[in-house]
Each structure stands twice: as C-alpha cells, then as structure tokens.
Structure 1
C-alpha cells in the first residue's frame, strides 16, 4: 500500500539527515522532494503545492527538541499535515433511519457490488445489524447474480426484481420489504455509470430523491488516481454524497486519490477496501493512514484485528494445555487460522513499525503458511498431539505426503519447539502472564 510514495518520502527526509538544525535552505530542498513525491503519486499540483507551503511555514523557526533530529521533526510535521489533508478524524456511517438506507454510487468497475457485500457483512458482524442488499442494476443481469452470490456467501438476504426495469420502484419496493420483515439497514447497489452519461446520472438522482437515503456513498477505485478525484467531483455536484469509499487499496496504488479527494469534494473517506475477502474492509482513519504512508506502521489497527479473533474461552483452554505441556500441532494450526483471518500478510506486515521498509523487496504471499499447513495435515492425529513421536522415519513420510522436503519439516519442528518454550515462559507466575497479556490486548482502544 503506497510503497512508492513511502520510499520517495523517506528519501526526501534523508536530505535533513546529519543537519543539526532546520534552516530555510534544507527545508526547501526537502519539501521540493516531498512535493515531487506527491506529484508522482498523482496528487493534484495545487494540493501538493499548498501542502508543502503549509509544512514549510510550520517548520521554519521551529526549535528542534533535544530528543528530536531535524528529519524526525519534519516527518512529524508531514504526518500531521497529511492527517489533516485526508480528513483529520474518522467519519462514521449514519445509521439513524428505521431502516437506515445506504445508497451506493460510482463508476463502472469501481467495485460497488463487492463492496456492498463487504459493508453488509461489516454491519452484520461488527454492528449487530440485520442488513438487506438490494439489486438495482437494471442494465447488467450478471450484477444481480453477483449480488446474490455475495449475499449467500455472507448470509445476507438480497432483494431483486429481475423483470423490473425501473430502478426507482425496485428501491422503493425493497424498503417496504425491509420494513415488513425486520431489516434495519438497506444497502442499495446501483448500476455503474459515467459522469458524462446524463441519462444514467439522472436515474441515480431520481433514486436518491425517491428513497431519501441516510447515507450516500461514492465508491471509487483508488488505482485510478487523479481521475478518481475528478469523477468524484462530478458525482458530488449531482448527488451531494456523504462520503467516499476507496477500493483496491491492496493493489499497486499511487495514493493520489486517498490524499486529494477530501480537499476537492470536502467529503470524508469513510471506508477502504483492502482485499478480495468479504472481511477486507476497514474504517478509514486519516492519522493511521498517514503513519502507514510514512512507514510508521499501524499498531492500533493490528491490535484491533487481533482482538476480533481473540476468544477468551479458547485462550483459557490453550493456557491449560501449555501448563500441562499438551500444546500440539492442532493448536498451532488453530493459531495460524486466526492469523489468516486478520487479513492478507502484506497488509499485516505493513502495520508493524519498520517492518514494511525492512521487507520492502521481499514478496509476501497470502499463502505464506501453505507449506506449514500441508506438513501438519500430513501428520497422524497422534503425531499432532505428541510431536515427540516424530522420528526420522515419520519425518520422511510427512515430507513426501506434504510435497515438502525433510529440511522444511525439521525447520517447522524447530520453530514449533521454540514457540512452545516461549509460550511456557509467558505463563510466568501461576500461569497468569499469557491471560494478562491477552486481556490487555482486548482492552486496548484507539
């Protein structure tokens, strides 16, 4: 996420390395590179120029604290300004209606239908809502089928009228259906349209007028850069939407849309899509995103994702097994599954301060655990429960069965042994340290 921009900003700050104080000359040189990095990321020229001017005004004349170097101070100033540029504070979604109606809008291919499903899943699992998805794309039959597939995947009902070619009446009928059947959120997925298509823009404006949604979201593909910002402005002029959704932030995005869009349309980014899975949706926090752009990581989001997978009862069972030296490969496999549920590996690594920079040239695949899982699945139930049974003959059989080699099997056994010892140590006095640590994580809040 924003790898190129992060690298270029890092190089810009290196100009100040070794300088004892901030001067107008070295600030100008640094900010020239910062502006160039923003322009390369497809940020609007005026926005980039105004941004660096504000940073310069704050930097000149600042006394550098004894604990800070000029480069560190500049990183802080850029981080604060980036946070402000992207909206300052996180913006929530308006769920005040009964039912709350959310209208999705955007270009063709922006990922509206998939994101509608992600949002429904988010509101269902995180907010305890009962959402209804509505198929209002009357031009593309595959869109209706796609929404039904997504709905089945997440266990959310989809309302559709395949024979009806009037998007307004479908949306109105869906809201009546929601009221009659106890749905408290209605998410209306509309057809993708071009801002220059007057007929299509009039249609979505009519849908908006008829259903009076509490929330209108503009979904945009973040990889389209500055074009996305220009399109958002055209849509906002017609719909006056409430917020922006940036999809495909897990791709090779330049970052221009995320940085520019708030200042152009004066509407907050509310959600981001970070992968293909239905769980790959995050509330947009400007400060956390600024930290990630600057290579500082995002520990709070990492802890929040860990919290979501934390089960107090399971943790107690695990604690007892560790205390009795009964921690086996089935338990190890369960821990791996929980990590995988937290998101794609590259995204998780980017949340660890310094790790993204240290591993920038290392390709981290989503199936990083694939060979480990294969090795464990090639063990017998007895071997998984009692790793001490694994002699040379059994290891050869497991290597063949998992499509790996004996070195990989031995490496896994070594890692497992080290992990078991570490977890035993963490039990500490009376076996309380692990539970205290897990409980502390659960209590952490941004």
Structure 2
C-alpha cells in the first residue's frame, strides 16, 4: 500500500519525541531532519518538502508548544495540520452544472487508468446520487480502448457512445453530447486518449474537445507509480488545459506516494479521488484530513465507517445486532460476514484504518490469504443446513465428514470452529456494551471503553447522520 514506508519513517521520527517529557529546540530540529529525509525518499517534490518542514519547524519551536504540558502531542498535531494543508485542507467534490448534463472530461498519460476511472466514477455517481451517466469513448488510438469502456458500461448498465476508430474524437464528443441532451443524462463522462504532455498535436485535440464540450470538470488522471515526474505532468497539463482536479490511481501499488503530497501544492488543483484497486468499487473520495491521519499512522475511522455503510443495509445490520445479542449468530451469518468484509477491501488495509492499530507490533506482517478464506467457506458449505444453524451439533464424526467433504484436515476444521465460537463470544460481549477487547486498550486515548473513545464514536455517528440528512 502507498505511503507505508513514509508512515513508518514519520512514526519513527515522532516516536522519539513521545518518549520525552520535555522537548527542546534541538529535539525538534532532529525530528525535522528525519521528516525531511522521509519525505524526500517518498518522492515528494523538493520545494514542497522545504515549505512543509519550514512551516512545521516555525510552529513547533514556539514557546506555547515547548512549554506546554505535552509538547510531543502538540508537535504531532502541528505535523498533522500542516500535512492536511499540503494535501488541500478541504474535501472538494465534483463541480455540478446548474443544468444537465454535468460534463466531466478525463485527461492524462497513456496507462494512467483513465478508462477504468471513467467506469469507477460512473459507478460512484450512480450509487451516491442515483445518477444516469453516459460515457463517451473518445480514445480512438489505443487498441481495445473502446471495447474496454463498453465492457465497463455493460457491467454497470451504463450507456456508452462510440463511433468506432475512423471518426475524429472531436466529432465523437459532439454527437455524444447531442445524444446525452436527447436522453436527458445528468452526467457525461468523456474518456480521452492518453498522451505525453509534450505531444503538441494530441494536446491540441484535447483543447478542441474542451472548447467544444465546455466541461464542468477536467480531471487529470495520474498514476501514483509515476513518481516525481507526475508533478511535471500535472503542471504541464494544468498550463495547457486548466485542470479542475486530480485523480490519483494505483495507490494500492508498491509506490512511495510522494506525488499525492506534491501535486496539490504545485498545481493548486485539488485531488478529488483516489483509485485503490482494480474493482469498480475501488474508488475513494479524497479527504485531505483523513489521508493525513492515515499517513501519520493515526487511522481513518470515518472512511472505515463509510466503507461499512456502503456494503451493509440497515435492515441486515439490525438483524445481525439482534443475533449477536441473542447469541444466535450461526455459520450462515459467518459466511455472509466474510463476504461483506472481503468486499470492503484487504483486511490488512482495513485494520490500519483503526486508530492505534498501525503502532501495534507485528501489524505490518498481518496478511489474509484469500485461499484460506476460500477453505473456511468450503468447510461451511460441507455442513448440512441443520449444522450451519446449530454449531453445537458438530460432534467428532460430523467434523470428520466436513473435513473429507471440503478437502481439509480435521485439525483445520476444529481450528475454524474454535475461531467461530470465539468470534461469536466476542460479538456478544460487544453487543452488551463490553468493549474491553484485548489489544484495543490504547485506541481512542485509553480504550474504546474510555470516555474519550465514546465521545469520538458519538461524534463520528452524529457526523454521518448529518451527511445522510443532507443527501436526502
């Protein structure tokens, strides 16, 4: 996952301060030296690094910080605030047109993921706004680009307008917009061909499409793995097209992530979305404050809650809560929960969104093998309906049959059943309000059971309720 090495380096730099009761100016300078090195190694733009470290140092060596009761916490807070500012301070959404359709044009280098992003954005708009988008296939140069967009359209049940590869992209966009007006589509997503920012002819083509379509948004799609050159690409596209926002793809890859920290500061264009995988659901609205918390290893509970809300409907959640309370959670529910959680993304990434988890020893080694999950589901599917509903029926002879039927050993079946029972026990404790779960003592400043934890959770729940009311 992007930012992992940066997160580790920043945590190491700040952990030295946390261990000190009194922080001196020399301690701050030493920490800033390590932070500067960490940012440079993560491929953050040099000018951005200079400005960031200068701002943090000036604020951190102030009398009100060094003389405070907890200077280390104050400095971590300053680093978080300055990092959030570098990333853009506020969440910036799609600029909607006062009259339909809202036109969004994608631009960027070849291979950055524009076509995939078009599909992801269409899916996002349909889910969050119940929108009716139309996608226009304007990439006539890349082999199979039009076919790829059509496949995405079929998966999402979204119309795709194309005229093959023998018509100019400008004419395709012209006729596609006419269709959108006729069909009353509220969004038009224009997929354009990838091009180098130094390719004059193709850049002129983009300018013609811009002049014709008058898009509300020109989103530059940038591959996070491009590294430092991503900033140069963004700067050039911005000068020639006037981009309104940036989309950073492949943040789930083995990348240093510095481009994300640099682009906002260098171009002034806000980062609006991040792509975190290949699935059409792997798209996140970019929240600077949450990304800062994630980079600093402080978790991201709001995004975790939102992910859960997307995959759970309220009725099912109520049914599950009741089953947990009554201790009637069975293997059918177990499989359903596995599918729901796996749909939210890799478990190891979800764990790191929980505050405090990234500091837990060995968390970086936590890996969930999809094959192991498949083996557990095979064991459940080898049970009879009665056994799934009543795990207490599983005597030794039944367990041997399940092992044979699922291609596992009896030891593995016993282990899975034991894990299931422990999970059910823990769920029942949580449903009764007992949140004293081993390994969670330090979260939310003294445990989830602590006052601070309850306050934090209440604030998050209230915030989510407000958002829901606004959407309605």
Contact 1:345/1:366 (8 A) holds in 2: no
User: Which residue is 1:77 aligned to?
Assistant: 78
User: Which residue is 1:48 aligned to?
Assistant: 49
Q: 1:346–1:151: structure 2 CA closer, same or farther, 3 Å change rule? A: farther
SS of 1:275's equivalent? coil
Contact 1:15/1:29 (8 A) holds in 2: no
Spell out, residue by residue over 1:352-400, the C-alpha distance to the aligned partner (whole angstroms, 9 max, x if none). 1232343113334455633222221222222212212211122122223
User: Which residue is 1:330 aligned to?
Assistant: 332
Spell out, residue by residue over 1:16-46, the C-alpha distance to the aligned partner (whole angstroms, 9 max, x if none). 3443333221111110110000000011112
User: Which residue is 1:188 aligned to?
Assistant: 190
The counterpart of 1:373, out of the listed 353, 356, 377, is: 377
Contact 2:91/2:286 (8 A) holds in 1: yes
Q: Does 2:103 match 1:101?
A: yes
Spell out, residue by residue over 1:130-152, the C-alpha distance to the aligned partner (whole angstroms, 9 max, x if none). 11111100112300011111111
| Rounded Cα–Cα distance in structure 2 between residues aligned with 1:312 and 1:64 | 45
The counterpart of 1:138, out of the listed 112, 137, 140, is: 140
Pairs within 5 Å for 1:2-13: 2-13=3-14
Pairs within 5 Å for 1:344-423: 344-358=346-360, 359-365=363-369, 369-423=373-427
Give the Å deviation of 1:93: 0.5
Q: Give the structure-1-normalised TM-score.
A: 0.92
Q: 1:137–1:349: structure 2 CA closer, same or farther, 3 Å change rule? A: same
| Rounded Cα–Cα distance in structure 2 between residues aligned with 1:63 and 1:365 | 49
| Rounded Cα–Cα distance in structure 1 between residues aligned with 2:382 and 2:460 | 34
User: Which residue is 1:432 aligned to?
Assistant: none
| Rounded Cα–Cα distance in structure 2 between residues aligned with 1:24 and 1:332 | 54
Pairs within 5 Å for 1:270-349: 270-319=272-321, 321=323, 326-349=328-351
SS of 1:63's equivalent? helix
Q: 1:66–1:53: structure 2 CA closer, same or farther, 3 Å change rule? A: closer
Spell out, residue by residue over 1:257-284, the C-alpha distance to the aligned partner (whole angstroms, 9 max, x if none). 1101011101000000011111010100
User: Which residue is 1:435 aligned to?
Assistant: none
| Rounded Cα–Cα distance in structure 2 between residues aligned with 1:284 and 1:144 | 28
| Rounded Cα–Cα distance in structure 2 between residues aligned with 1:377 and 1:68 | 57
SS of 2:179's equivalent? helix
SS of 1:369's equivalent? helix
Q: Does 2:15 match 1:14?
A: yes
What are structure 2's unaligned runs of at least 5 residues? 434-456, 468-472
Contact 1:345/1:365 (8 A) holds in 2: no
Contact 1:99/1:186 (8 A) holds in 2: yes
The counterpart of 1:246, out of the listed 248, 252, 260, is: 248
| Rounded Cα–Cα distance in structure 2 between residues aligned with 1:365 and 1:249 | 21
Q: Which moved more, 1:28-37 or 1:374-383?
A: 374-383
| Rounded Cα–Cα distance in structure 1 between residues aligned with 2:81 and 2:109 | 32
Q: Which moved more, 1:3-12 or 1:278-287?
A: 3-12
The counterpart of 1:153, out of the listed 143, 152, 155, is: 155
What are structure 1's unaligned runs of at least 5 residues? 430-437
Contact 1:95/1:185 (8 A) holds in 2: no
Q: 1:352–1:365: structure 2 CA closer, same or farther, 3 Å change rule? A: farther
| Rounded Cα–Cα distance in structure 2 between residues aligned with 1:304 and 1:209 | 37
| Rounded Cα–Cα distance in structure 1 between residues aligned with 2:134 and 2:4 | 37
User: Which residue is 1:212 aligned to?
Assistant: 214
| Rounded Cα–Cα distance in structure 1 between residues aligned with 2:268 and 2:460 | 35
Give the Å deviation of 1:424: 4.0
- Over aligned residues, Cα RMSD in angstroms? 2.3
Give the Å deviation of 1:207: 0.6
Q: How many residues align?
A: 438
Contact 1:8/1:34 (8 A) holds in 2: yes
Give the Å deviation of 1:89: 0.4
Give the Å deviation of 1:346: 2.9
Q: Give the structure-2-normalised TM-score.
A: 0.87
